[in-house]
Amino acid sequence: MKQPYRPGGVIHTYQKYDPQRFPSPTQEPPDLVSPAMEHMLMYGEMRELTPEELARAIKLDPSQIAGLGPNLDALIKMLQERKRKILETYETDSVQKKARKNYYKTAKQIDYPKGKLGDAARAAVDQEQIYSLERLWYLADDARSPLAGELVHLIERLGEKYEVDELAAKWDFTGRTSMTVPEAIAIKEELERIDELLKQLEEAKETAQIGVIDMSELEQFAEPGQMEQLMELQRQLEEYVKNMAEQQGLTGNNQGAFQITPQAFRIFQGKLLEKIFSNLEASRTGRHQGPILGEGAVELQQTKPYEFGDSITQMDIPQSMINAILRQEGQLPLRLKPEDIEIHKTRNSPKCATTVIMDMSGSMRYEGQYVNVKRMALALQGLIRSEYPGDYLQMLEMYSFAKPVKPGDVIGLLPKPVTLHDPVVRLRADMSDPNASEYRIPPHFTNIQHALQQSRLFLANQDTPNRQIILITDGLPTAHFEGSQLFLLYPPDPSTEAATLREGALCAREGITVNIFLIPSWSQTEEDVKFAYRLAQTSKGRVFFTAGRDLDRYVIWDYVNHKREIIG
């Protein structure tokens, strides 16, 4: 029986997808957003992400790109064969003797001066150290003198001897053909190029990043047909990465660099939350717990029979109509009675107001702690936008001052540069003076008092009793305000701590909880920990100790638990 014609190839052409060489359109796309966002978190807006950096950052599955492996394997075997032939052809004992002989022959031709300079020259020759010969060249009074010229030639011969010795030590030669010194140096350079290309090809085979291969170097060894196939694969991969980048919210600018769009911003926040809550799902705890408290603002899927006093706005209309139809057994007209009505259950979800104080003082640059702080802020903002849209969130940047920050500007924050290196700093500035400028104030100090004050003012306007401040810092405050007077004091001064604790007490008096997340620092001492406890006690808050990489997880979990307690 004749088989019917199945035009399967038409589908492949229509989708512009080659199933023999490229990943399927239904396959999970590679994550391009996370590497780009991590780059921006590290460098802020000071440096854009180039296509090469993005290509190196993303992870592709080479097994999904049929044809890539065989092409790279063929090139690897070709280079290995070339290397094997070189090592089986030559020997290095004779060329080492030639290089040593050339060095001492040139040394004997030197007309050594009398006195200490001549003795130093002979000692430098015997040491066979380029550094000693260079120092001797500088000791010569005239760079054009015969001694200076002879030393230059001697340094060149010693350099050649070094390269020949390295050639013999680095590779195992088994052949019998002798080499001249220039030939040995040329072979050494060729072997170094082969080893580097082999390393690049192995990396490309593991990561599918053909861009790491030096095509101009490889072209000297490979056949033209092999290079054409590899460059065609590279073009396809670049086009694939570009398309995936556009789908995930990364757009190229006129200079060829990639820019972050709001879509990429949201995708990255979603990935952060997915990573954070993966442990919660594994422990069988959810994000939405709490009993039903009468008529609430959040409508649930579960229903219950209507009771006197229930609001009709939560009525499940389809189920209520079905109940009436079943009761009347199809009789018309259809009449709805109270016993037919089903009401959606509801729960209360009280609004919560939060300010996040992000320490961007000079000490946060150590070990990249500022990256962890910004990552946490983005995750928290994504959580509130997606899960608790009625909540209020305000970010503040803390350094010598405290400034509100929009969510879209968080990624561009960087630690302030240290502009004073004196062991003791005692500065005061009257900020009410018209001539005083924030830009003339050293920015790298830590003003927790001003940050708490600004947070308190923001939260005072929020009509909810559930108000909290999340303070993320690495230690003691070193700046505070007294009226319009700004004090910058290092080492930390008791007056700064007292002003900060007073502000914490004002927060507690207004019903604002201060939760402190103390992250590790190279300069952290017992005094930093004691201060965190004193501030938490004054403001009726808590202290959390966490490693920098776990900061986002701890803050998000604490926020969700706090919401759970409010609902319950």
In degrees, rounded to 5, the angle at the alpha carbon of residue 374 between the alpha carbons of residues 370 and 378 is: 170
The confidence score (pLDDT) of residue 56 equals 56
Q: Which of 504, 410, 409, 512 minimizes the C-alpha distance to 461?
A: 512
The confidence score (pLDDT) of residue 311 equals 78
The confidence score (pLDDT) of residue 329 equals 84
Six-digit token pair at 98?
A: 């030639």
The confidence score (pLDDT) of residue 501 equals 94
Shared-domain flag, residues 318 and 370:
no
Shared-domain flag, residues 332 and 367:
no
Q: Is 512 exposed, middle or buried (0-12, 13-18, 19+ CB in 10 A)?
A: buried
The boundaries of the domain holding residue 504 are: 355-567
Shared-domain flag, residues 483 and 417:
yes
Q: 213 near 233, Cβ under 8 Å?
A: no
The confidence score (pLDDT) of residue 484 equals 92
Please state the domain count of the chain.
3
E-assigned strands of 274-414? 298-305, 342-347, 353-359, 392-398, 402-405
Last residue of a domain, one of 172, 195, 221: 221
Q: 355 near 502, Cβ under 8 Å?
A: no
Query: Does 232 map to a domain?
Result: no
Shared-domain flag, residues 506 and 362:
yes
Q: Which of 540, 566, 542 minimizes the C-alpha distance to 554?
A: 542
The confidence score (pLDDT) of residue 238 equals 62
Contacts of 60 (CB under 8 A, 6+ apart): 23, 30, 207, 208, 209, 237
The confidence score (pLDDT) of residue 290 equals 39
* Helix, coil or strand: residue 109: coil
Last residue of a domain, one of 330, 347, 364: 347
Contacts of 553 (CB under 8 A, 6+ apart): 276, 279
The confidence score (pLDDT) of residue 291 equals 40
Query: Does 39 map to a domain?
Result: no
Distance CA 217, CA 104 (A): 36
Long-range contacts of 337-341 (CB under 8 A, 24+ apart): 338/306, 339/305, 339/306, 341/305, 341/306, 341/312, 341/315
Shared-domain flag, residues 341 and 361:
no
Shared-domain flag, residues 135 and 67:
yes
* Helix, coil or strand: residue 483: coil
pTM over 0.75: no
The confidence score (pLDDT) of residue 13 equals 37
Query: Does 447 map to a domain?
Result: yes
pLDDT along the chain (568 residues), means of 10: 47 40 51 62 59 56 52 82 91 92 85 73 78 73 70 85 91 91 92 89 74 72 70 65 62 59 61 52 36 50 82 86 86 86 74 89 84 81 76 92 89 88 92 87 94 94 86 90 94 94 93 85 80 86 71 62 49
Shared-domain flag, residues 372 and 341:
no
The confidence score (pLDDT) of residue 278 equals 52
The confidence score (pLDDT) of residue 396 equals 95
The confidence score (pLDDT) of residue 459 equals 92
The confidence score (pLDDT) of residue 405 equals 93
Query: Does 454 map to a domain?
Result: yes
